[in-house]
Amino acid sequence: MDLMRVGLMGSSILAALAFAASVSVAQPVPVITPRAGMVITQSVKVRPGVYRLRAPASLDSALLTIRGRNITVDLRGVTFVGSPIDRAPDAGQGTAIRIDGGEHIRVRGLTARGYRVGILARGTRALTLDSNNLSHSWKPRLFSIVAHESLNDWLSYHKNEQDEWLRFGAGIYLSRVTGGALRGNTVRQSMNGVLLTRTDSLDIRDNDLSYNSGLGIGMYRSSWNTIVNNRADYNVRGYSHGFFARGQDSAALLMFEQCMHNVVAYNSMTHSGDGLFLWAGQETMDTGNGGSNDNLFLVNDFSFAPTNGMEATFSRNQFIGNRVEGNTHGLWGGYSYESAIIGNCFVNNRIGIAIEHGQQNTVGANRFVGDTLAIRLWADSIEPSDWGYPKHRDTRSRAWRVVDNRFTRVTERTRIANTSDVDSVRSVVDDTASQACDPTRLVPTTTWWRMPNIENAPLRWPAAANALRERSAIVVDEWGPYDWQSPKLWPLDSAHGPSVRLRVLGPIGRWRVLSRRGVATLSSISGRTGDTIVITPAEQQRGDWELTLEYRGAATVSPRGVRTAAGVPQRFGYEQFAPRTTWTQRVFAWSDSTDPVKQPAAFTALLAGTPLTTRTAPRMDWFWSRSRDAQIPTRRMAVEATATLDLPPGVYTLRTLSDDAVRVWVDDHLVIDQWTPHETQPGYASLHGGRHRVRAQYVQGDGWTEFRLDVLRGVVRPSLGSAGPH
């Protein structure tokens, strides 16, 4: 046999083997029909379709569970619905897909809505989540309204050693995951987009995590991750334009407790409570060790936050080439050390950079345009006595390098107090420079800084149209941020005056009035999106009126995810229901001898006596940190409030918000009893139409005062699980 023939035979054998291998690889994976409780241990394709499958309420189980190695679950064309689309967003429960350990797991193409958690993975290596839409997950009802904030809506992330963050829900929740990628996923109109706990080495890229009422991305003890080219805009609560701008610890990106060596680059993270909220963690606060250190924030857009564009404290990091416009603070960096703040563009912030007790930081080659105060550095003479950090660390404000910065139309360039060793040179005042921030030109080329190289990074942040709007574009209703994809009628006033202005929001289109109830006059009966309508309620129905409009225009997507084609008419409107009454408010001061909990008989006797003051008001609505009325004590105060309600036929809910204690009687029956001191929490009782006598007792010990009593139409009950203060 000659060599050529041997060669041909060898080639034929190799070709046959290759063909056999290709046939083996190309074998189709099983196609399955999902059912609740199914466990998947091999690669499968789920049969396309819409599956209305409720998940068990416990987050320790799931609709589908994946276990094993080298598994791809193809869910393209599959939609899981856990809670009907017409149910409130707080009705969702359970987990759609759970991944237990394993490695080289891929889940792609799923659409899931109405669950507490879309995808939950624990202890997985090399996990890929690709092109999943997990929008419209669980989120709680909010209690802050147009003219009144509620402390109940504030968030707290301090406890997560045992996955306590799961109570917040998320489109994606990863715990102890190592390696892999999250790419092309969407989580909108939920509470949280992606939450990472003790998770490292992920590539998080090209995701849309916007319009959530908590966080776009939340990280706890998570390091060595790359977060590039994502949209995480309008992750916000606690904002009402012209009334309050608090954020309530919502954020586009939260890095909490020992998050290190992460790269965050070319992301759009605008209009969120904070753009970036980074904190070293309780471990650092107690011992002075560690921190959320050595993270790089490169060419991100952190604009139009109600509070801070970037907040990064007790840590060492680099902030390079970011756009930070229209915030209260561009960067709040208390106790930062050895950090680089270089080539950023701070525009129209109240304060561009504010850092207390910072050491050995560099502020270089930044542009400040239109800020009220560009740079503030200082140290306080007294630090909190319950912090361990200043007992273990040098916290003097010292050794600053402030060089090569440019100031345009800035009211005050620097304000420096109790700070030593400041090297401040070569600053430029330029009143003619453009205000524009171009991310491709922000980072300077200097001898003392080199531009970091991010593999496969874009040249700019992925800005959507709404990301470029001013902060007034933030609209937060009882279910979170409005996404501007559907028509909405929104009040510009508190709605308690003789007239009310309503703005028509939404995509381009036209509107006309369909109906009105309890409205005496309207400024117009038709118009275009963006109009303001002024209404005057009828005197006899002030507090109980309704306006319904019809919209025709562009295609829309409702806050619950319902799509409507262009040109199809849609109804939308606004109503106010606040039954007219007069509250008699008798205010008392109590002491140890008349303590409402420990001395109930003495407290009852106190309320039978002469009050400090008696007031009348159309609403029971108190909210303050310090009383502005000299006759109402800030601490150790009680009020007994009485009123008569006349309600039309129907079913109603009486709801209280209280901090510290409350109890309510309706027609001499105790219906709400929250007499154990607590942080702000709601209480509920059912009412029917007719005349009712209401008596409420409220007690304030110390701290914030919040006592609100509302009557709501229909049956309203608490969310399934709390996301409020803990």
Q: What is the DSSP letter of 55?
A: P
Are the CB atoms for 53 and 81 separated by under 8 Å? yes
Dist. CA 273–CA 258, nearest whole Å? 21
* Average pLDDT over all residues of the chain: 92
How buried is 428 (Cβ within 10 angstroms: 0-12 exposed, 13-18 middle, 19+ buried)?
A: exposed
Close Cβ partners of 521 (under 8 Å, ≥ 6 residues apart): 535, 536
DSSP element (H, E) containing 15: helix 3-25
Give the rounded distance of the alpha carbon of 261 from its chain centre. 24
- The whole-number pLDDT of residue 447 equals 55
Confidence of residue 439 (pLDDT cuts 50, 70, 90): low
CA distance 345 to 324: 6
3-state secondary structure of 356: strand
Structure-token match 């707290």, residue found:
156
**Partners of 264 in the β-ladder:** 227, 297
- Neighbour count for residue 457 (Cβ, 10 Å): 17
3-state helix, strand, coil in the chain (%, to 5): 10, 45, 45
Q: Which of 318, 249, 256, 319 is nearest to 290 (CA)?
A: 256
How far apart, in Å, are the Cα atoms of 573 and each of 480, 495, 637? 18, 14, 40
Could you give the percent of the chain with pLDDT greater than 90? Answer: 85
Q: What is the DSSP letter of 539?
A: G
pTM, entire model: 0.93
Q: What are the pLDDT digits (tens) for 253-310?
A: 999 999 999 999 999 999 999 999 999 999 999 999 999 999 999 999 999 999 999 9
- Give the CB-side neighbour count of residue 364, counting CA atoms within 13 A: 20
Report the share of the chain in percent with pLDDT over 70: 93
Does residue 135 contact residue 191 with C-beta atoms inside 8 Å? no
User: For 522-554, how does the pLDDT look when each residue is reduced to its tens digit (9 = 90+)?
Assistant: 999 999 999 999 999 998 888 899 999 999 999
Question: Domains along the chain?
Answer: 484-577 (2.60.40), 583-713 (2.60.120.1560)
In terms of phi and psi (left: phi > 0; alpha: psi -120 to 50; beta: otherwise), the region of 348 is left
Q: What pLDDT, on the 0 to 100 scale, is given for residue 197? A: 98
Phi, psi of 114 (to 5 degrees): 80, 25
- Cα–Cα nearest to 446, from 368, 365, 366, 367: 365
Reduced to 3 states, what is the DSSP secondary structure of residue 248? Answer: helix
At a CB cut-off of 8 Å and minimum separation 6, what does 408 contact? 367, 368, 369, 370, 429, 430, 431, 432, 433, 435
Instruction: Give me the DSSP letters along 370-396.
Output: S-SEEEEEE--SS--TT-SHHHHS---
Residue 514 predicted with pLDDT over 80 = yes
